[in-house]
């Protein structure tokens, strides 16, 4: 007949497992948190990149039908107001495409000096069939990890679209 051991009594074949789960958790928890944060950050970056591409597409649609289009760039401003088109003032030639792109930048992307909208044409004025490129750049993406750790993690995200001038 076997002799029963009392609780807490160590026998010759038993191993003390009391702290094993806590040690395993302490080892794996930081790795799991980094994995989850990495997935979260990748999702945020992809969302912002898709938004920038959508804004560039909206700006390109407006640009390909704008008269007197020129190459230029401006920072997106908070109310997306740009001077109305004036045929005597070349700085207003791209205002409709700037406004269209700026209005498509939303949620999570500030319309300040960190977001820049640029229009590129091969020649001024463009001819039908020329490729017009609109690029929206956001230079202010910071990861959540950089708020907890003293690391520099500024990332530049860009959305770009090219369409034929009509």
Q: What is the average per-residue pLDDT within 1-19?
A: 61
Query: Mean pLDDT score of the chain, rounded to an integer?
Result: 81
Reported as a single tens digit per residue, the pLDDT across 37-72 is 889 889 988 999 999 999 999 999 988 988 778 888
DSSP 52-90: HHHHHHHHHHHHTT-TT---EEEE--TT---PPP-TT-G
- Give pTM, 2 decimals: 0.77
Q: What is the average per-residue pLDDT within 114-125?
A: 87
- Is the pLDDT at 78 greater than 80, yes or no? no
**C-alpha distances out from residue 77 to 41, 82, 100, Å:** 26, 9, 12
- Is the pLDDT at 80 greater than 90, yes or no? no
């Amino acid at each position: 007949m076997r002799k029963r051991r009392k609780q807490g009594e160590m026998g010759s074949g038993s191993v003390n497992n009391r702290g094993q789960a806590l040690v395993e958790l302490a080892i794996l928890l930081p790795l799991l948190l980094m994995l989850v944060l990495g997935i979260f950050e990748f999702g945020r970056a992809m969302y912002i990149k898709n938004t920038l591409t959508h804004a560039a597409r909206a700006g390109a649609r407006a640009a390909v039908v704008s008269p007197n289009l020129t190459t230029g760039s401006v920072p997106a401003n908070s109310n997306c107001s740009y001077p109305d088109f004036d045929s005597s003032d070349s700085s207003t030639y791209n205002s409709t495409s700037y406004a269209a792109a700026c209005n498509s930048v939303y949620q999570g992307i500030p319309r300040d000096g960190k977001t820049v909208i640029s229009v590129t044409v091969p020649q001024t004025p463009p001819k039908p069939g020329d490729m017009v490129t609109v690029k929206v750049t956001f230079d202010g993406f910071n990861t959540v990890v950089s708020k907890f750790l003293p690391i520099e993690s500024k990332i530049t995200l860009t959305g770009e679209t090219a369409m034929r001038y009509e």
